[in-house]
Amino acid sequence: MKRSSARLNPRITRRDFLNGSALGFGAALLTRAAPGSAQEMAGVGDPLLGNDWYGYGGVGDFRLSHGNTPEVVNSAHYLRDGGFPAGQEEIDADEQFDLVIVGAGIAGLGAALEFSKRRKPGQSCLILDNHPIFGGEAKENEFDVNGERLIGPQGANGFFIPAAVDDPEEASGDPRYYAELNIPREYRLQEWPADRKPLSFSPDNYEYLVRGLQDHSSVGHFFTTADSTEGQWAVDMWQRELANTPLPDATRKTLLQWYRTGATRQFASDADAMRTLDQLTYKEFLESKLGMGPEAAGYADLFLASAAGLGSDAISAYAAYKSPMPGLMDTPPPDLRRNSFPGGNSGFARHFLKRLIPDSITGGENFEDITLGRVNFGALDRSGQPVRMRLNATAISVTHEGNPATADTVRVVISRNRQLHAVRAKAVVMATGGWINKYVVRDLPAAYREAYQQFQHAPFLVANVALTNWRFLEKLGITAAIWNKSEDDFGYTCNIRNPMQVGDYRPPLDPDRPTILSFYTPFYYPGLPVEAQVRIGRAELLSTPYADYEQEILGQMSKLFGSAGFKPSTDVAGIILNRWGHAYSVPFPGFYGGASGNAPRDVIRRHYGRIAFGHSELDGLQHYGPAADEGRRAFNQLANAI
């Protein structure tokens, strides 16, 4: 990546960084050499990450937890590299719970919700998470730009309003939790004044990438050629049938064919579709079954890599069918819209938590208070309450006390505040992914270990840029940008949302006032094997210092928007990086079982002894409703054991 000379206003950067209070993190870690401490870890595996990697975190409750923290990455890699040796695990358990749930993402919260409904009097549950706050990939960033409170998603960000159900207990997935958590079905967005330049906006960070839904946003495609850095904008190119693009005729023809192609296959059942389509990639489907040129798969990468981690050369055609993509599904109905809470899916995580621990979020049991209230950290881990949550707590060992088939308890060793302690549980739900479970669960049977070896996890970077104004976007007539990525580019898409208005939280929709520009940035390398793509991407994500990404982002913005008056020194107030090392489990061909129907996830979905596994990755297309369902299923497999 070429480094740009563009620089953030140094005064703003320094101030914002100090506000982030991540300051001194590395130093704090290095004060003692307790088990699992930085000093001890320094001898093992990867170099330690610190503040120069993590950077500014914004303001508010989530400021210390944006993406994976350096501490989480350091201790996870320490575990992977054989750290926390067996001798250190022989610690007596000093607390007893009926259930321990590892992971406070949506899956863990789903397991806890089911426990809270089914528990017998006196039963207790402890939820552990290695981050400083709950939510997993469904967290939020908060900025204060010139007195304006702005909230944006760190990762999971949007949803469709599901069908209403009379009895949530009879439902599953999105409709179940939507009804059960009393989430409203109507939302307020900002009106775009009729006397301004016509502009339309995605309410989330995906809609502008989805075939058929793209038309709801003012999307600019930025085209460059190999011999020139000057670019050319094509605004609303799909509505104009690509006539305003510099693309050759043959490419236009292919892209339009792809865009307009509805379902070309009918299946007797979902199982039939799964068996048939899970044998080839989406790219193979487009090219060998529909005879399309490579440009179609190339454009499809934009959405697929954002939603599933890698592009169409890696993603199963069945996952594309469920997404749904051209050639496998018809164009969505024109009035279908996405939605996004202020902090994206942290809105769902907040609703789960409020139900589990009523005073965990300040304010009442209503949408506004739950969505915007401050987290009451003191309420999370009080003894005596049925559900407790312990943060900054990494489970480093989970093992049955005895033979898994007959043991009465499971011991969980936790690393927290540079100390190890252990708790005992009658059952454990691992609401965490395979990349870590295979190291943490010490008596994992060989078949599970082999199944987990087949999973591939793609990294992801969400960069939220707080802007003091977005006059440069208005001048271009766009609210979302897509560029034909070259080696010198950062990312390939970004947008501003029409921000949801909730109670007194009324972020503006005015080019002269602040907003958040979000870059959703996957790492994919078409043509390479899946495992190589995720490995190279993760190395890039983990090895790039904050300052380098900051410069790359500002350089990219200057390249895209400089001609429309963008100035980094005055227009950017702060940048938060949310790095997810294992963001998505990639649904490659065979993930769902392929022709044989034997999928690695089927092995993981069986519990053994008193341990069960429930995590969004098992669904193949990670999403909040199925994530909570996986957690619920895992708890129910163990309900009789507690």
Ligand X SMILES: Cc1cc2nc3c(=O)[nH]c(=O)nc-3n(C[C@H](O)[C@H](O)[C@H](O)COP(=O)(O)OP(=O)(O)OC[C@H]3O[C@@H](n4cnc5c(N)ncnc54)[C@H](O)[C@@H]3O)c2cc1C
**Could you give the CA distance from residue 124 to residue 386 in angstroms, rounded to a whole number?**
5
Q: Return the bridge partners of 462, or none.
A: 520, 578
Residue 134: name the closest of 97, 101, 159 by CA. Answer: 101
Q: Which is nearer to ligand X, 70 or 594 (CB)?
A: 70
Chain positions 116 to 135 lying near ligand X, rule: CB under 6 A, are 128-131
Asked if residues 109 and 628 have their Cβ atoms less than 8 Å apart, the reply is yes
- Could you tell me the maximum CA-CA distance found in the chain, to the nearest angstrom? 73
Chain positions 215 to 244 lying near ligand X, rule: CB under 6 A, are none
Q: Which is nearer to ligand X, 394 or 399 (CB)?
A: 394
Binding piece for ligand X, criterion CB under 6 A, among 47-55, 101-109, 261-269, 633-641:
101-109
Chain positions 565 to 624 lying near ligand X, rule: CB under 6 A, are 580, 583-584, 615-616, 622-624
Pairing mode of beta strands 515-522, 387-390: unpaired
List the one residue from 391, 462, 496, 603 that touches ligand X (CB under 6 A): 462
How far apart are CB 626 and ligand X at their closest, in Å?
8
How far apart are CB 631 and ligand X at their closest, in Å?
7
Asked if residues 428 and 611 have their Cβ atoms less than 8 Å apart, the reply is yes
Residue-level length of the chain? 642
Q: Which is nearer to ligand X, 4 or 622 (CB)?
A: 622
Asked if residues 242 and 232 have their Cβ atoms less than 8 Å apart, the reply is no
Collapsing DSSP to helix, strand or coil, 424 comes out as: strand
**Could you give the CA distance from residue 284 to residue 290 in angstroms, rounded to a whole number?**
9
How far apart are CB 269 and ligand X at their closest, in Å?
25
Binding piece for ligand X, criterion CB under 6 A, among 153-161, 318-326, 524-532, 533-541:
153-161
33-58 in b/e burial notation, b at 16+ Cβ within 10 A? eebbbbebbeebbbebbbbebbbbbb
DSSP state of 501: B
Residue 153 structure tokens: 């998603």
Q: Which is nearer to ligand X, 257 or 360 (CB)?
A: 360
Binding piece for ligand X, criterion CB under 6 A, among 103-111, 142-150, 243-251, 352-360:
103-111
List the one residue from 137, 180, 301, 552 that touches ligand X (CB under 6 A): 137
How far apart are CB 468 and ligand X at their closest, in Å?
25
Element (H, E) at 414: strand 410-416
Pairing mode of beta strands 125-128, 93-102: parallel
How far apart are CB 153 and ligand X at their closest, in Å?
8
Q: Which is nearer to ligand X, 108 or 231 (CB)?
A: 108
CB atoms within 10 A of CB 408: 11
Q: Which is nearer to ligand X, 158 or 311 (CB)?
A: 158
- For 580, list phi and psi in degrees, rounded to 5: -115, 110
Cα 328 to Cα 258, 289, 304: the distances in Å are 11, 11, 14
Chain positions 613 to 632 lying near ligand X, rule: CB under 6 A, are 615-616, 622-624, 627
How far apart are CB 634 and ligand X at their closest, in Å?
11
Binding piece for ligand X, criterion CB under 6 A, among 39-47, 216-224, 256-264, 429-437:
429-437
Q: What letter represents residue 473's amino acid?
A: L
Q: Please give the size of the binding site for ligand X, defined by CB under 6 A.
A: 39
Chain positions 516 to 555 lying near ligand X, rule: CB under 6 A, are none
How far apart are CB 205 and ligand X at their closest, in Å?
7
Asked if residues 282 and 321 have their Cβ atoms less than 8 Å apart, the reply is no
Asked if residues 106 and 138 have their Cβ atoms less than 8 Å apart, the reply is yes
Binding piece for ligand X, criterion CB under 6 A, among 21-29, 98-106, 191-199, 371-379:
98-106
Q: Is residue 147 classed exposed, middle or buried when 0-12, 13-18 and 19+ CB atoms within 10 A define those classes?
A: exposed
Asked if residues 139 and 133 have their Cβ atoms less than 8 Å apart, the reply is yes
Chain positions 269 to 328 lying near ligand X, rule: CB under 6 A, are none
Cα 217 to Cα 198, 202, 209, 473: the distances in Å are 11, 5, 9, 13
How far apart are CB 601 and ligand X at their closest, in Å?
13
How far apart are CB 76 and ligand X at their closest, in Å?
7
Query: Going residue by residue from 370 to 399, which x/- string records binding to ligand X, judged by CB under 6 A?
Result: ------------------------xx----
The verdict on 460 binding ligand X (CB under 6 A) reads: yes
List the one residue from 431, 444, 451, 480 that touches ligand X (CB under 6 A): 431
CB atoms within 10 A of CB 381: 15
Q: Which is nearer to ligand X, 29 or 583 (CB)?
A: 583
Footprint of ligand X on this chain (CB under 6 A)? 72, 102-108, 128-131, 136-138, 155-159, 206, 345, 394-395, 431-432, 436, 440, 460, 462, 580, 583-584, 615-616, 622-624, 627
